[in-house]
Structure 1
Amino acid sequence: MINQPEIVKSDPQLRPFQSIIENRLGRMVEKSNELSKTNLSDFANGYRYYGLHQNEENWIFREWAPNATNIYLIGDFNNWRESKEYEFEKMENGNFELIIDKSKIPCQVLYKLSVHWEGGQGERIPVWTNRVVQDEETKLFSAQIWQTESDYKWKNDKKRTKVDNPLVYEAHIGMATEKEAVGTYNEFREWVLPRIKKAGYNVIQLMAIQEHPYYGSFGYHVSSLFAASSRFGTPEELKQLVDEAHAMDIMVIMDLVHSHAVKNELEGLGLFDGSPYQFFHTDERREHSAWDSLCYNYGKNEVIHLLLSNIKYWLEEYHFDGYRFDGVTSMLYKDHGLSRDFTGYEMYFDGEQDEDAICYLALANKLMKEVNPNSISIAEEMSGYPGLASPIEMGGIGFDFRLAMGTPDYWIKLIKEKNDEDWNVGNIFYELSNKREEEQTISYAESHDQALVGDKTIIFRLLDKEMYWNMDKQSRSLVIDRGIALHKLIRLMTFSCAGNGYLNFMGNEFGHPEWIDFPREGNDWSYKHARRQWSLLDHPDLRFEHLNAFDKAMIVLQHDQSFLSDTSIACLAANEEDQVLAIQRKDLVFVFNLHPSESYTFYGIPVKAGKYEIILDSDAEEFGGFNRVDNQQQYYSKPEVQLSQKHRLYLYLPSRTALVFKHIPPKSIF
């Protein structure tokens, strides 16, 4: 009998579902014991057996293909023709092995597998390959032998430390340069990594690392789980990027796509050994109705072995520091959460959850801590599943953080549907601060989702076409002034109310213009919108510099004050008519005046008694403001009435401005 889970003790609304939570916890423990009598790390070593390996004399190829009858190695070395010399030996339990003299196959040669099954045959990319390349002319993909005796020599192993409050810089290697082409690992390391360090972010989240056939999928239609995308460069170049980030005390995590897989049969796993069900479901659940992709069957131990081995592989081989798990909501529910409104707790426990997927996610988080105790896992999850970011021993799934996915949607809805004078500061505070107390959350105003074609970033919604003509510092535009002011306020409000971390997508910190549109047939395969225009930020005459300076100041504020380490957020004032919001975080007081036109003098904010000084002013000239506040002034609270213990800070609050005050404790006389 398992004791009552802690998440049930902390949330009385979970008590009717206690037995289900206990069963889920028990199931994970049983499955973990079934898979390994020691630890999951010993179990998750598939990449060390399967795939391509070598000894002094031979190449050794191994694959698991239980439905296959014969497998042949084909490539440049044998004119892509099957022969007995390159036929795999069929082993036990559906395994196939080929040992071939290294002198017959040079390094970096291209190859595939020719897989036969009853009634069919097809060329396939090996499941466990660590290198896949695309032919520039035919556009076909092949595996490539990329095994060298002199593997990358890591220089900064000891720099891999834990980050308690992640400040995440979400980035895409291919679109990180300004050129109208695919960027590389080396270019990112040389040109973008220093920018991230200078900006103050302590975690980089890399998108689209796992190989994917279609560049425009943003990396979410993965075909080869173990291959770092070759369109960006070599494995060694990716390792060097991670290594140098560690030298800068920056963690590097990657978007991990275990929620679904690409349908492609040649490049992917969809029909690897002739069976459509080798890795995926056997019924209508095989295909994802919304994503045009395939859904893993997490009930098969072989699938768990594949995916857990993949988790360990990137942590061990590339020294990634963790993962942002993509599409967790889709994994949790049999209907992928598409037909649910999640208005009641029964939606999480009504029998329509994928219990195998829930078990797998808990195992994945357990494994991560075994491999690297300082690793971090972040769940992209929008249903509000309780316990998602609670420890496994408490009855949760074990993620370290969950993304506050409702926040960007809230801001977009507010900007689209409400006039500025109708923004309700009390409602804003509630939406930004409403989080489960027992879980850690990473907040963000916008991510890559809001930058894609069909949507708009916050800055583009606020400025629209004016951005093209009036971002010069000498220009005067009420639209630009409003947009820049609100952009700063929205981001600081999100940051100040963040649970335990903050995320920004590459370029949004300086208000990158326009949308993201990867090359496709509809835009004549153009790269114009699949890049980042850093020159706009670097141009001294443009106002993008102001937005970037403010973002950096926000990040510095956290580095200096560590306010995210205090999860308590007190609402000091929320005057709906005045549109003034004041909150306290640690010993900081954040005051926001969202009113579009009214500035207030001698405005009282309830605070604890003492001296205060301004440490951040969104209206400062360096941030594109109007310098309406004297930042050198010192402020002292005053009692509400004579001898009262209740004090107020009386302030001048210009319209559309945020001020951050630090409480200065009295100096000791000893």
Structure 2
Amino acid sequence: MTEASLLIDEPTAQAIAQGQHGDPFSVLGLHEVDGKLVMRAMRPEADSVEVIDAKTGRTLVALDRVHDGLFAGVIPRRKKRFAYRLRMTRGSDVWEEQDAYAFGAKLGEMDEYLLGEGTHNQLWDALGAHVCTHEGVEGTHFAVWAPNAARVSVVGDFNGWDGRRHVMRRRGATGVHEIFLPGLGDGTVYKYEILDSAHQLLPLKADPVGFGAELPPATASVVRDLRGYEWSDAGWLSKRGAKQKIDQPISIYEVHLESWRRVPEEGNRSLTYLEHASMLVDYAKDMGFTHIELTPISEYPFGGSWGYQPVGLFAPTSRFGAPQEFRAFVDACHKAGLGVIIDWVPGHFPTDQHGLGRFDGSALYEHADPKEGFHPDWNTLVYNYGRTEVQNFLIANAKFWFEEYHIDGLRVDAVASMLYRDYSRKEGEWVPNQHGGRENLEAIAFMQHMNEVVYAADDSILTAAEESTAFPGVSAPTSSGGLGFGFKWNMGWMNDTLRYMAEDPINRKYHHDKMTFGLHYAFSENFILPLSHDEVVHGKGSLLGKMPGDDWQRFANLRAYYGFMWGHPGKKLLFMGGEFAQSEEWNNESSLDWHLLEYGPHQGMQSLVRDLNTLYRATPALYEKDASQDGFRWIDGGNAADSVFSWVRYGKDGSAPVLVVSNFTPVPRTGFRIGVPQAGHWTEKLNTDASLYGGTDTGTPGGAHSEDISMHGCPYSIEITVPPLATVFFELTLG
């Protein structure tokens, strides 16, 4: 056999040069052929290629150009593999590189087994782009799942976006492709170039498990080195479980980072993660909240989606900084005693060409049938929860945020859309389950499994479901058939009470049940009472704007409503701006209207929310039995004529009970007698009509001592003055 015939045969050379070869590692790099060592390199950007001994720096051979961009040659006097480098020339330019095809596979047998089985709960350790040392060399290891692809390549500026240059190694039946690229590190921009099973070129794809992304509207992934961050939140993590139980005070400040506060002096830019770590954290702590909840921060291409159409589930959005800076934000929250919840979107994903849709030319992450795989409301694709690898991808992502970013909780978006196959679909537009029903059994199993996995890994975290129907057992254990969430948003309470508050006070007596109905089911789930971003967008106006009456009445109504909410069973959630009565509907493209705090009514509202949080956290009766029927007792829930509601909250043994009275008319009630369950002095603890908050200072400032006059089914009663459009809290003095 001649030396030339050893180099490469024409069909193989043509397949390599055209990027059509399915196994380039069997061709490129060093290979023993008939007792000789043959070197092949695909370097279409070079005029010439030489092989250099990595130890001595000596040129061993100048390779021949055997095809378009493909060089090959026999290494003289060498029969065994050795460490080498490639020296390229193009015109007057000369440079050296290590050859990606000199390195073996990095994924181990256990990774391959778990990936093939779809049970790799540390999926992000195997897939994605990892800066690492491999075979003694620094570089980046890339791995991606694309089982139906004929070929997958990593492309970027480092190879001129030429998919022929770095074709990846296929790992058997797993459908995973991998390659180690020496010399690449943090900040490298890349995508995957994929040929489908018919060898058709697909749009370039971002990395499904990429840890970073370009600043939108650019769409490439960015290599991010997640190693080396030194966390300082061990103290917080050791106490987190105790702070996030159902018997603890949880008051959540929901924030859209892009519009919380902007810098007008610098082009109206948003704050960075590091600026939020100071300004937002200090503010939320001062306001008395226990948690900050972020609208989705997984990378999303369209800002108008607020993050609810994410493409990069493993990448904190680059809009505010790098991943390590997001970690610093979480760290700062924990140092301040604040938990961090992020909105998580496993219900759907956008159709952007660089995203997950038909990722390898097939319906890989989504259902192939649009009756199952397409959301008509949002023009998005639906995950195929029945596919093991897709479940693995999503559950591993949930774990990723807890483990890599020390997130304290996940609020799962749009759960109702996942639970029902006919969600927002007309007859004939959906596929029944195997029993002919409308429930999405695969999605239910996915959510149960997700909760089991994350709580088994760390039971100090929390998960919460945004679920708008009466689906049973959302926050019940999976062992009893529940979905296993820690908490459920009480959307019914929110809708009913806001409709009531929008009524003119003169008509509220006809809608009294909207404020009481929630107590019929208040203890069926572990509820969070949400006044979220969804209530202040799409023409709904602000919370203040929903209130009837003149300016004074609107502020008084909102203050009374907040009092009602903080006195009601259930954890609390308030979207940013609501705490100071933002006047206009929320606009994600501009800052909150912080200038309103120059005006007394807005200052008063902010002071009220701060004091409500302070009272709530200091008063066990307001939170210890949130999910227990024996923690609540109506005193008078039927006074529709006066639109007055009164109830008592109880904590655990030894806690002082609290009486809450809400008056939703502008009429003050003097000499108002109300039953109380225990004798003693009932001290006025907070009155939303206080002048400090912008009210009239009507009330019972000294409190009231019980009298032996039975009323409302109670053996005792007190006589108080109930202020107009206000909520008042009284606490029994014990001992």
TM over 0.5: same fold?
A: yes
* 2:593 matches 1:533: yes
Deviation of 1:434 after TM superposition, in Å, equals 3.1
Q: Distance in 2 between matches of 1:55 and 1:654?
A: 66
SS at match of 1:298: coil
* Structure with larger Rg: 2
Q: Distance in 2 between matches of 1:318 and 1:131?
A: 13
Q: Indicate if the aligned counterparts of 1:488 and 1:618 stay in contact, CA closer than 8 A.
A: yes
Q: Distance in 2 between matches of 1:302 and 1:217?
A: 27
Partner deviation per Cα, 1:152-177 (whole Å, 9 max, x = no partner):
11011221212223211111111111
Q: 1:492 aligns with which of 563, 568, 587?
A: 563
SS at match of 1:638: coil
* 2:684 matches 1:604: no
Partner deviation per Cα, 1:73-110 (whole Å, 9 max, x = no partner):
111112212234x111122125344433432x353121
Q: Indicate if the aligned counterparts of 1:41 and 1:367 stay in contact, CA closer than 8 A.
A: no
Q: 1:585 aligns with which of 644, 649, 666?
A: 649
* 2:186 matches 1:99: no
Partner deviation per Cα, 1:313-370 (whole Å, 9 max, x = no partner):
1111001012000010000111126669xxxxxx9x9721110100000011111112
Q: Indicate if the aligned counterparts of 2:557 and 2:725 stay in contact, CA closer than 8 A.
A: yes
Q: Indicate if the aligned counterparts of 1:616 and 1:659 stay in contact, CA closer than 8 A.
A: yes
SS at match of 2:155: strand
Q: Distance in 2 between matches of 1:504 and 1:593?
A: 22
Q: 1:650 aligns with which of 699, 715, 719?
A: 719
Q: Kindly provide the amino acid, as one letter, of the partner of residue 536 in structure 1.
A: L
Q: Indicate if the aligned counterparts of 1:453 and 1:516 stay in contact, CA closer than 8 A.
A: no
Counterpart in the other structure of 1:143: 221
Give the alignment of 1:116-155 within 5 angstroms.
Answer: 116-117=195-196, 118-122=198-202, 123-134=204-215, 139-147=217-225, 151-155=228-232
Deviation of 1:199 after TM superposition, in Å, equals 1.0
Q: Kindly provide the amino acid, as one letter, of the partner of residue 608 in structure 2.
A: F
Give the alignment of 1:265-414 within 5 angstroms.
Answer: 265-266=353-354, 268-336=355-423, 351-414=437-500
Q: CA 1:559 to 1:419, structure 2 compared with 1: closer, same or farther past 3 Å?
A: closer
Partner deviation per Cα, 1:175-198 (whole Å, 9 max, x = no partner):
111333333212211211111001
Deviation of 1:606 after TM superposition, in Å, equals 4.0
Q: Indicate if the aligned counterparts of 2:500 and 2:514 stay in contact, CA closer than 8 A.
A: no
Q: Distance in 2 between matches of 1:487 and 1:641?
A: 33
SS at match of 1:174: helix
Partner deviation per Cα, 1:89-134 (whole Å, 9 max, x = no partner):
122125344433432x353121111111115212111111111113
Counterpart in the other structure of 1:470: none
Q: CA 1:234 to 1:564, structure 2 compared with 1: closer, same or farther past 3 Å?
A: same
Q: CA 1:278 to 1:395, structure 2 compared with 1: closer, same or farther past 3 Å?
A: closer
The total of aligned residue pairs comes to 586
Deviation of 1:425 after TM superposition, in Å, equals 7.5
Q: Indicate if the aligned counterparts of 2:600 and 2:694 stay in contact, CA closer than 8 A.
A: no
SS at match of 2:479: helix
Q: Distance in 1 between matches of 2:710 and 2:574?
A: 44
Q: Percent identity over the alignment?
A: 24
Q: Indicate if the aligned counterparts of 1:68 and 1:273 stay in contact, CA closer than 8 A.
A: yes
Q: 1:64 aligns with which of 138, 145, 164?
A: 145
Q: Distance in 1 between matches of 2:673 and 2:329?
A: 50
Partner deviation per Cα, 1:196-248 (whole Å, 9 max, x = no partner):
00111111111121111101101111111111101121101110110111111
Q: Distance in 2 between matches of 1:303 and 1:132?
A: 21
Q: Kindly provide the amino acid, as one letter, of the partner of residue 550 in structure 1.
A: L
Deviation of 1:641 after TM superposition, in Å, equals 6.6
Q: Distance in 2 between matches of 1:281 and 1:170?
A: 36
Deviation of 1:542 after TM superposition, in Å, equals 3.2
Q: Kindly provide the amino acid, as one letter, of the partner of residue 46 in structure 1.
A: L
Give the alignment of 1:149-188 within 5 angstroms.
Answer: 151-160=228-237, 161-162=240-241, 163-164=244-245, 165=248, 166-179=250-263, 180-188=268-276
Query: TM-score normalized by structure 2?
Result: 0.76
Counterpart in the other structure of 2:326: 238
* 2:193 matches 1:114: yes
Q: Distance in 2 between matches of 1:156 and 1:483?
A: 42
Counterpart in the other structure of 1:455: 540
Q: Distance in 2 between matches of 1:489 and 1:634?
A: 19
Q: Indicate if the aligned counterparts of 1:189 and 1:244 stay in contact, CA closer than 8 A.
A: yes
Q: Distance in 2 between matches of 1:125 and 1:263?
A: 13
Give the alignment of 1:172-211 within 5 angstroms.
Answer: 172-179=256-263, 180-211=268-299
Q: Distance in 1 between matches of 2:666 and 2:511?
A: 13
Deviation of 1:70 after TM superposition, in Å, equals 0.8
Partner deviation per Cα, 1:282-341 (whole Å, 9 max, x = no partner):
45211111111000111010101101110111111001012000010000111126669x
* 2:521 matches 1:435: yes
Q: Indicate if the aligned counterparts of 1:204 and 1:250 stay in contact, CA closer than 8 A.
A: yes
Q: Indicate if the aligned counterparts of 2:301 and 2:311 stay in contact, CA closer than 8 A.
A: yes
Q: Distance in 1 between matches of 2:120 and 2:188?
A: 31
Q: CA 1:577 to 1:43, structure 2 compared with 1: closer, same or farther past 3 Å?
A: same
Q: Distance in 2 between matches of 1:41 and 1:640?
A: 68
SS at match of 1:284: helix
Q: Indicate if the aligned counterparts of 1:550 and 1:623 stay in contact, CA closer than 8 A.
A: yes
* 2:352 matches 1:249: no
Q: CA 1:106 to 1:437, structure 2 compared with 1: closer, same or farther past 3 Å?
A: closer
Q: Indicate if the aligned counterparts of 1:41 and 1:371 stay in contact, CA closer than 8 A.
A: no
Q: Indicate if the aligned counterparts of 2:522 and 2:569 stay in contact, CA closer than 8 A.
A: no
RMSD between aligned alpha carbons? Answer: 2.5
SS at match of 1:124: coil
Q: Distance in 1 between matches of 2:205 and 2:731?
A: 61
* 2:677 matches 1:636: no
Partner deviation per Cα, 1:614-650 (whole Å, 9 max, x = no partner):
111111111111112351x2411112279x9821111
Q: Kindly provide the amino acid, as one letter, of the partner of residue 172 in structure 2.
A: E
Q: CA 1:83 to 1:604, structure 2 compared with 1: closer, same or farther past 3 Å?
A: closer
Q: Distance in 1 between matches of 2:255 and 2:305?
A: 15
SS at match of 2:192: strand
Q: Distance in 1 between matches of 2:439 and 2:423?
A: 9
Deviation of 1:494 after TM superposition, in Å, equals 1.9
Counterpart in the other structure of 1:625: 695
Mind listing any 5+ residue stretches in structure 2 that lack a counterpart?
A: 1-111, 428-432, 651-656
Query: TM-score normalized by structure 1?
Result: 0.83
Deviation of 1:416 after TM superposition, in Å, equals 4.0
Q: Distance in 2 between matches of 1:619 and 1:42?
A: 57
SS at match of 2:214: strand
Q: Kindly provide the amino acid, as one letter, of the partner of residue 227 in structure 1.
A: A
Q: CA 1:178 to 1:432, structure 2 compared with 1: closer, same or farther past 3 Å?
A: farther
Q: Kindly provide the amino acid, as one letter, of the partner of residue 550 in structure 2.
A: V
Q: Indicate if the aligned counterparts of 2:148 and 2:175 stay in contact, CA closer than 8 A.
A: no
SS at match of 1:113: strand
Deviation of 1:481 after TM superposition, in Å, equals 1.2
